[in-house]
Amino acid sequence: MAAVGQRRTAGQSAVFFAGAAAIVLWSAGPFLWQLSTSFQLDRALVSSTPSLIPHPFILQHFYNIFAVKHFQLYVLNSTIVALATTFLCLAFGAMAAYALSRLKLRRRFGLLGFILSVSMFPQIAIVGPLYLLASTLGLLDTYEVLVIIYLALGLPLVIWVLFGYFQTIPEDLDEAARIDGAGPFRILLFIIIPLSVPCLVTTGLLAFIAAWNEFMFALALTSTIAHQTVPVGIANFTNLYYVPWGDIAAASVVVTLPLVLLVLFFQRRIIEGLTQGAVKE
């Protein structure tokens, strides 16, 4: 856009291209090395000259993490927790965002600001009290406790993004339905939600990624492989006598690749959702 009416010289183009290549190398390079590591023999990994292309190409590390270390159980736990969190975040978040955006509420921006400011507290400040509470309620080492906590951590962002989107839906649509006798719940369910599917997908993805990646609460509140999530599993991935870098790389690839693919597919929408606050300032 700055280049309107300007033509770029070959030199400038070269600089831009080099800069863009550097950014891609910076962003994707370390992960590509991790990908390569996951297919290499331990012997190749400690050789004096590392090779980017795995030679020989082996699947031993993937066999190790699934067959020996039962990594699939962590993946299952994470999937259950993250999906439940995403679903609840979207349901409760849409309700709250709709109330804040459409219904007559006094101090709606005050409320919105309050909801956002709650998410600014350092999480380490609530982990102790939540541990005691979960212990009293018998919720330690359950899926429920993680879902309940991730829901509260995810809601402020979900509400903020959905609120911004609902504000762009013309109010005439609600109005027409209201004249036809529809109440607020019906309007939300049958008019607003169907119109918001693209935004719900993006927001859901943000909530999913946050829940999938969370570490500290999972570490503090779960203690067995029955409920521990992927980050805790990977953090505990150390053998007694050496660090199994190949196995760790394989596990990293298994949990990161789905996220990377989702992100590549939805990048435009994710960036729009995440930068909404910045652009509207």
Partner 1 sequence: MSRTVAVDGVQHAAQPSFALVGAGRIDFAPLLLLLPTAISLGSVSLYPILDGLWLSFHNTTLATRENRFVGWLNYRLLATDPDFWSAWRHTLEFTAISTLAETVIGLGMALLLVEWFAGRGFVRAAMLIPWAMPTVVTSKMFGWLFDGQNGLVNWVLRSLHLIGGNIDWYGSPNTALGTIIVADVWKTAPFMALLLMAGLQTIPGSLLEAARIDGAGAWQTFWRVRLPMLAPILLIAAMFRALDAFRIFDLVYVLTGGGPADSTEVLSTLTYKTLFSALEFGYGSALSTAMFATEALIALGFGIVIVRSMRRQGR
Which residue in the set 68, 107, 109, 281 belongs to the binding site for partner 1 (CB under 8 A)?
A: 281
- Binding segment (CB under 8 A) for partner 1, from list 57-65, 69-77, 196-204, 254-262: 254-262
Residues 120-149 touching partner 1, rule: CB under 8 A, are: 120-133, 148-149
Find the shortest distance in angstroms from Cβ 249 to partner 1. Answer: 7
In whole angstroms, the minimum distance from the beta carbon of 161 to partner 1 comes to 14
Mask for 82-121, x = binds partner 1 (CB under 8 A): ---------xxx-xx-xxx--xxx-----x---x--xxxx
| Interaction between residue 275 and partner 1 (CB under 8 A) | yes
Per CB under 8 A, does 46 bind partner 1? Answer: yes
User: Closer CB to partner 1, residue 226 or residue 257?
Assistant: 257
Q: Does 223 bind partner 1 (CB under 8 A)?
A: no
What's the closest the beta carbon of residue 226 comes to partner 1, in angstroms? 19
Long-range contacts at 227-231 (CB < 8 A, ≥ 24 apart): 227/77, 227/141, 227/142, 227/143, 227/146, 228/74, 228/77, 229/74, 229/77, 229/78, 229/81, 229/146, 230/74, 230/75, 230/77, 230/78, 230/255
The reply on whether position 53 binds partner 1 by CB under 8 A is no
Residue 158 contacts by C-beta under 8 Å, 6 or more apart in sequence?
Answer: 89, 90, 93, 97, 203, 206, 207
Instruction: Report if residue 197 touches partner 1, rule: CB under 8 A.
Output: no
Mark the segment that binds partner 1 (CB under 8 A) among 55-63, 69-77, 79-87, 210-218: 210-218
Q: Looking at 66, 177, 178, 269, which residue binds partner 1 (CB under 8 A)?
A: 178
Interface with partner 1 includes 155 (CB under 8 A)? yes
Q: Which of residues 58-87 bind partner 1 (CB under 8 A)?
A: none
Site for partner 1 contains 212 (CB under 8 A): yes
Distance CA 174, CA 171 (A): 5
Smallest distance, partner 1 to C-beta of residue 101, A: 11
The distance of closest approach from Cβ of residue 57 to partner 1 in the complex, given in angstroms and rounded to an integer, is 19
CB of 222 vs partner 1, minimal distance in Å = 12
User: Is residue 239 part of the contact set for partner 1 (CB under 8 A)?
Assistant: no
Which one among 10, 11, 27, 53 touches partner 1, defined by CB under 8 A? Answer: 27
Task: Tell me which stretch binds partner 1 (CB under 8 A): 54-62, 161-169, 191-199, 263-271.
Answer: 263-271
Instruction: Give Cα 107 to chain centroid, integer Å.
Output: 31
Cβ distance 54 to 36 under 8 Å? yes
